[in-house]
Amino acid sequence: MKRSVFRQILRYLRPYRFFFALTVVLSVVNVAATLAVPYLAGLCVDCIVGRGGVDFAGLFRYFGVIGGCIAVAAVSQWGMNVASNRIAYHMLADIRNDAFRKIQILPLKYLDSRAYGETASVIISDAEQFSDGLLLGFTQFFTGVATILGVLVILFLMRWEVALVVVTVTPLSLLTARFISTHTYSMFKTQTEVRAEQTAFIDEMIGNLKVVKAFGHEEKNEEEFKRLNARLKQCGVRAIFFSSTTNPATRFINAVIYAVVALVGAFIVISTGGLFTTGNLTSVLYYSTQYTKPFNEISEVLTEFQNALACAARLFALIGEEPEVSDEGNEDLGKAEGDVRFEGVKFSYLPGQKLIEDLNIAAPAGKRVAIVGPTGCGKTTLINLLMRFYDVDGGSVKVDGKDVRSLTRHSLRENYGMVLQETWLKEATVRENLCMGRPDATEEEMIEAAKAAHAHNFIMRLPKGYDTVIGDEGNLSQGQRQLLCIARVMLCRPPMLILDEATSNIDTRTELKVQDAFQKLMQGRTCFIVAHRLSTIQNADLILVMKAGQIIEQGTHRDLLARRGFYYELYNAQFAE
Q: What are phi and psi of 331, to 5 degrees?
A: -75, 145
Beta strands in 389-547 (DSSP E): 394-399, 402-403, 416-419, 428-429, 469-470, 496-500, 526-530, 542-547
* CA gap 459, 465 in Å, rounded: 5
Predicted confidence band of residue 71 (pLDDT cuts 50, 70, 90): very high
Report whether pLDDT(518) > 90.
Answer: no
In this predicted model, what pLDDT tens digit does every residue of 203-246 receive, in sequence order?
888 878 878 888 888 888 889 899 999 988 888 888 888 777 77
* pLDDT confidence bin for 74, thresholds 50/70/90: very high
Assign 75 a pLDDT band (cuts: 50, 70, 90). Answer: very high
Question: pLDDT digits over 30-54, tens only?
Answer: 888 988 888 888 888 777 765 667 7
Average pLDDT over residues 7-27: 88
3-state secondary structure of 498: strand
DSSP reduced 3-state for 171: helix
Residue 58 pLDDT level (bands cut at 50, 70, 90): confident
Beta carbons within 8 Å of 332's beta carbon, 6+ residues apart: 407, 408, 411
Does the CA dihedral 135-138-139-140 come out positive or negative?
Answer: positive
Please give the pLDDT value at position 532: 73
Q: 302 pLDDT exceeds 80?
A: no
pLDDT band at 176 (very low <50, low <70, confident <90, very high): confident
Predicted local confidence at residue 273, as pLDDT = 64
C-alpha 315/C-alpha 309 separation (Å) is 10
- Sign of the dihedral defined by the CA atoms of residues 241, 244, 248, 249, in that order: positive
Instruction: Go through the domains of the chain in sequence order and give each one's CATH number.
Output: 2-319 (1.20.1560.10), 340-574 (3.40.50.300)
pLDDT score, position 512 = 73
pLDDT of residue 70: 92
pLDDT at 274: 66
Judged by average pLDDT, the poorest of 125-129, 267-271, 497-501 is 267-271
* Residue-level length of the chain: 577
Rounded to an integer, the average pLDDT of 120-149 is: 80
CA 367/CA 554 separation, integer angstroms: 14
pLDDT for res 444: 92
457 has pLDDT over 80: yes
Please give the pLDDT value at position 72. 93
Coil, strand or helix: which one is 570? Answer: helix
Pairing verdict, β 368-372 and 526-530: parallel
128/134 Cα distance (integer angstroms): 10
Question: Over the range 50-68, which residues count as b (16 or more CB within 10 Å of their CB) and which as e?
Answer: eeeeebeeeeeebeeebee
Residue 423's pLDDT is what? 78
pLDDT of 577 higher than 70:
no
- Distance of alpha carbon 394 from alpha carbon 347, whole angstroms: 7
pLDDT, position 105: 84
Which pLDDT value is given to residue 323? Answer: 82
Q: Name which of 264, 189, 199, 262 is nearest 225 in CA terms.
A: 199
Least confident of 97-101, 237-241, 288-292, 390-394: 288-292
Helices (runs of H) and strands (runs of E) counted in the chain: 22, 12
Flag the least confident range among 154-168, 170-184, 464-478: 170-184
Q: What is the mean pLDDT of the chain?
A: 82
What per-residue confidence (pLDDT) applies to 97?
A: 92
pTM over 0.85: no
Task: State the pLDDT confidence band at 447, using cuts at 50, 70 and 90.
Answer: very high
